[in-house]
Structure 1
Amino acid sequence: FKSSVVGFGTKVTMINKDTGREEFYLIFGPWESNPDEGIISYKSPFGENLLDAKEGDNLDFVINDTRFQYYVKKIEPARIN
């Protein structure tokens, strides 16, 4: 199974272009959202900007005057422990 795009129930691994660090996020619904654990809602501004991104995509978006730039490294099914 390979998730081709970011969507509900996926884990996305990205490179933060500002810091050069790898970050990962689990995309779920508002009720499961826990940003401290990297679990973000697909309805949040951040989550909405990730939706439908593909591996290899470069993302560039602004939320509340903060610019975010990411390289999408890997997309896979999310697992909550």
Structure 2
Amino acid sequence: MFLGYHIAMQIPKRKSENRRLVPVDTFITEEKFNELKAKLKRMKEVTHPRLSEESKRLAQFGDFSENAEYQIAKGKLRGLNQRIMETEFQINHAQVIRASKNTDIVSLGHYVTIESQGRKNTYQILGSTESKPESGIISRHSPIGEALLGSSVGGEVEVQLKDRKVKYKVIKITRDQEE
């Protein structure tokens, strides 16, 4: 009886196959949700067919191992497939922010006017994927965002910044920037 060894050739995984979906903040605005859906549609209906067709066209030029253009096209297609998966994941796990009508207490989506050392600033508190501090949009995970959530008009919060603690007084809470 022959007991042979079965030697299987291991095919190395591509970097994209080793990549895991990175957890993202699932709280997004309805506007961002609609942007993601439009982006996904564009990737699936426009970009993917174009890159697929390009790969098929380049595959006709012979030996894949020496066909640099084909390898590049396949790499672009793999990258696009990864972005499609990530966007689908984000859409499927999204929690759309709807600012509470109750403006007595700061909650996600609200605009909050705060004052510190005589200076007033207004911020909207959103999920971290939409954070743009220079535009007045702060993450719910930022030190100021975390401190403000749950506070009320007239209340004070203390925030530990890099080298100092700063006190902020809540002046106004609104659902819309124009209120």
Q: Which TM-score bucket, shorter chain as reference?
A: 0.7 to 0.9
**CA-atom RMSD in angstroms:** 1.5
Cα deviation digits, residues 3-22 of structure 1 (max 9, x gap): 12112100001111x2x011
Cα deviation digits, residues 39-80 of structure 1 (max 9, x gap): 00101222111111100102222122222111111001145x
| CA contact 2:143–2:160 (8 Å) conserved in 1 | no
- Distance of 1:51 and 1:14 partners within structure 2: 12
| Aligned residue runs from structure 1 range 2-81, under 5 A | 2-16=102-116, 18=117, 20-79=118-177
| CA contact 1:26–1:78 (8 Å) conserved in 2 | no
Q: Determine which structure has the larger strand proportion and give its number.
A: 1
Which structure has the bigger radius of gyration?
Answer: 2
State, as a whole percentage, how many aligned pairs show the same letter. Answer: 36
For this pair of structures, how many residues does the alignment match?
A: 77
- Distance of 2:123 and 2:165 partners within structure 1: 18
State the 1:27 CA deviation: 0.4
| CA contact 1:7–1:42 (8 Å) conserved in 2 | no
Question: Higher relative contact order by CA 8 Å / sep ≥ 6: 1 or 2?
Answer: 1
Which ranges in structure 2 are unaligned for 5 or more consecutive residues?
1-100
Q: Determine which structure has the larger helix proportion and give its number.
A: 2
State the 1:24 CA deviation: 0.7
Residue type of the partner of 1:55?
A: V
**Structure 1 residue ranges, 4+ long, deviating more than 3 angstroms after superposition:** none
Residue type of the partner of 2:171?
A: K
